Structure 1
Amino acid sequence: MASPFSIVQEALTNALRHAPGTPGVEVEIHRDAGGVEVVVMDGGTTLPVEASPGSQRGLVGMRERAAVFGGVVEAGRYGRGWRVRALLPWDEGET
């Protein structure tokens, strides 16, 4: 299974890089018998940001890792900030 940890780690790295001075970052992880939902939201930047939009490699990597296991990653603006949401399948028999 794609690791929820790796998705949270990459999303937090992106928030640190692209939302300097954010008032906060929320991380939510929910699991049920069919899957895991990971949501990471930042509150938006409060400091000047470099004009470069970034390479998108982090988002591409998260999407690729999730897709290998049948999952999806959505990312985009959410209010003043940015949200990454991953849905990953979960087999109760996995450890």
Structure 2
Amino acid sequence: MDVDLTVHVPEALSEGTQLTVDRIVQEALTNVVRHAAPTRCQVTVEAAAREIRIDIMDEGPPSAPGRAVRELPGGHGLLGMRERAMMYGGSFEAAPRPEGGFAVSVRLPVEGNQGP
């Protein structure tokens, strides 16, 4: 899997927030490997004055005649990411992309985000 990672975080985040961002990105990439690899994936983490934006998008599995989509036994990846986002007062969206592939988008507030 090819991953293009972009991180723009001008100031240090709290330890709990850093761990939450890391775990969300890790789980999203695990899902890409489970369901779409080999593929290309873009990960963007940006912190602004009021929120941290985490976006993960993949291109989906390569299409080839007769090639089955790789579906490994699943866990609770999307649910876990949603719970982490909600625990910090954030938002979570995950859905197939119209052009193919899948996208996960998480928004976490910065203010008062010192963790549970």
TM-score, with length taken from structure 1: 0.84
Question: What stretches of structure 2 of length at least 5 have no aligned partner?
Answer: 1-15
Runs of 4+ in structure 1 off by over 2 angstroms are 91-94
1:75 paired with 2:91, answer no
1:84 paired with 2:104, answer yes
Contact 1:72 1:86 in 2 (8 A): yes
Question: What stretches of structure 1 of length at least 5 have no aligned partner?
Answer: none
SS at match of 2:38: coil
Aligned-residue Cα RMSD (Å) equals: 2.2
Higher-Rg structure is 2
Once the two structures are superposed, the pairs formed by residues 5-84 of structure 1 within 5 Å of their partners are 5-22=22-39, 24-46=40-62, 48-50=68-70, 55=74, 57-78=76-97, 79-84=99-104
String of CA shifts for 1:18-62, please: whole Å, max 9, x gaps.
00221x10001111111100000011101522467x646100010
Pair 93,36 (structure 1): closer, same or farther in 2 beyond 3 Å: closer
Pair 77,93 (structure 1): closer, same or farther in 2 beyond 3 Å: closer
